[in-house]
Amino acid sequence: MTEPFPAPPQIPSRASPQVSPEAPLPATPARVLQLVTHDKLGGVRVLVAMVSEGLGEHGYLVEERALQVPGRLATLANMAALARDILAGRYHVIFTYQAAASIFGNGFGFLRKVPVRAAHHTASPEGIRPHWRLLDRAFGTLGLYTHLIINSQATRAAFAAWPERYRARFVDIPHGVDPLPPAAHRIDWRRRLAIPAGQPLLVATGRLVDQKDHATAVRALTQLPEVHLAIAGDGPQDKALKTLAVSLGVQHRLHLAGPLKRADLGDLFEAATLYLFPSRWETFGLAGVEAAMAGLPVVAADLPVLREVLSKSEVATNAAMTRFHAVGDDAGLASAVLDLLRHRPSAEMRHRFAADHRRHHSRQRMLALYADFLEAALRQKAKQR
């Protein structure tokens, strides 16, 4: 087993009953590897940064690494170096995000007997490629993962048909979300995008990939005259979205803003009328929560997880601030947008909605759960020695 056995910081325990907090530990700081498949902007990148910062504040030694780096040969060399470091006993805890990282990191972690090997579910079962899904199911069932971190009840329910031994490793840690920085007034987005006064601006954020289904929002523009759509993000669907917009004759109302830093999203959100979230699947929906925290009304795909995370106010406020449409239904999306434009929530209701989501999805709450989980998990491993 990895030596010396690590000690978590001595903090009051609020751990779940899935791990026992009783065994004493020697006072050696735990080294934590945060491993992702690729280091690209998106919800996973934001989560990793928050967890790293929070664990560092609790006294853990944290490294962030990615499997993939630019260049095929460089990636292979990087993976070999990562495997050597894991097998050499560099880490006491491995947190993985995305399927490939989970299989690679926890596979080598199992060989080294790294005490805590926790895979995060950043995709629902249908969002995992079949070969990775098969391996993930086997790793969780056979114990190559020690824990599986679940960020919502909808995600837990999505795996209800998986083996009981797999589901027994679930640890519930709801996502914490940092509110976006307020508008810095560096960019007047309505002027930059040449949007005429009085015309609504719909905003979406996230990677331009099939999962996010921005194509449904583009198709909806044909049913929303004088409505504009701005999407902040990049990805492989960039060209396809532009081609679709041209074929539909809405190219002058689709604005692909490219990837924006979090510090610059405040200006875009200030210019927005509504936020769109038409994803085909999510395990949490961080971008939608960021919009809710900013007080934007949200039109989202009717996924159980989005109803869960976007409904943290009282019933009337939730009903006023959100609309849901069937996945892939551009007519339903357009209808929901028109309904919200006709019944715009008051400034007071938007403020209440934002405050409720900031309170419920706080970073501090999430990081306390992570710290408690690691303290208890490491104590349990020490007790088993």
Q: Mind listing the domains of the chain with CATH numbers?
A: 31-176+362-384 (3.40.50.2000), 189-360 (3.40.50.2000)
Q: Beta strand pairing status for 170-172 and 147-150?
A: parallel
Q: d(Cα 303, Cα 8) in Å, to the nearest integer?
A: 37
pLDDT tens digit sequence for 245-256: 999 999 999 999
pLDDT tens digit sequence for 109-123: 999 999 999 999 877
Q: d(Cα 48, Cα 32) in Å, to the nearest integer?
A: 12
Check: CB of residue 298 under 8 Å from CB of residue 288: yes
Q: What angle do CA 32, 35, 37 make, to 5 degrees?
A: 180
301 exposed, middle or buried (CB, 10 Å; 0-12, 13-18, 19+)? Answer: buried
Give the 3-state secondary structure of residue 303.
coil
Mean pLDDT lowest among 95-99, 174-178, 272-276 = 174-178
Sorting pLDDT into bands at 50, 70 and 90, what band is 16?
very low
What pLDDT does residue 6 have? 55
Q: To the nearest 10°, the Cα dihedral for 304, 308, 314, 315? A: 0
pLDDT at 41 exceeding the cut of 80: no
What pLDDT does residue 123 have? 76
Residue type (1 letter), 120: H
pLDDT at 274 exceeding the cut of 80: yes
What would the mean pLDDT of 52-61 be, rounded to a whole number? 93
Q: Taking Cα atoms as reference points, which of 181, 177, 179 lies closest to residue 264? A: 181
pLDDT tens digit sequence for 79-112: 999 999 999 999 999 999 989 999 999 999 999 9
Residue type (1 letter), 156: R
What would the mean pLDDT of 189-208 be, rounded to a whole number? 96
Q: What percent of the chain has pLDDT above 90?
A: 80
pLDDT tens digit sequence for 298-318: 999 999 999 999 999 999 999
Give the 3-state secondary structure of residue 297.
coil
Task: Give CA separation, 202 vs 91, 111, 296, 341, 353, in Å.
Answer: 45, 49, 10, 11, 19
Q: What is the DSSP string of 128-162?
A: S-HHHHHHHHHHHHHTSSSEEEE--HHHHHHTTTS
Q: Taking Cα atoms as reference points, which of 171, 230, 231, 174 lies closest to residue 367? A: 174
What pLDDT does residue 377 have? 94
**Which structure tokens are listed for 13?**
């325990």
**Which structure tokens are listed for 4?**
């010396």
pLDDT tens digit sequence for 312-355: 999 999 999 999 999 999 999 999 999 999 999 999 999 999 99
What pLDDT does residue 10 have? 45
47 exposed, middle or buried (CB, 10 Å; 0-12, 13-18, 19+)? Answer: buried
**pTM (predicted TM-score):** 0.77
φ, ψ of residue 358 in degrees (nearest 5): -65, -40
Q: Taking Cα atoms as reference points, which of 370, 384, 385, 382 lies closest to residue 55? A: 370
φ, ψ of residue 155 in degrees (nearest 5): -65, -40
φ, ψ of residue 29 in degrees (nearest 5): -60, 140
pLDDT at 3 exceeding the cut of 50: no
Average confidence score pLDDT of the chain: 91
Q: Is the dihedral of CA 199, 200, 203, 208 positive or negative?
A: negative
**Residue 137's CB: how many other CB atoms inside 10 A?**
16
Which has the higher per-residue pLDDT, 108 or 28?
108
Q: What angle do CA 107, 113, 117 make, to 5 degrees?
A: 60
pLDDT at 23 exceeding the cut of 50: no
pLDDT at 25 exceeding the cut of 80: no
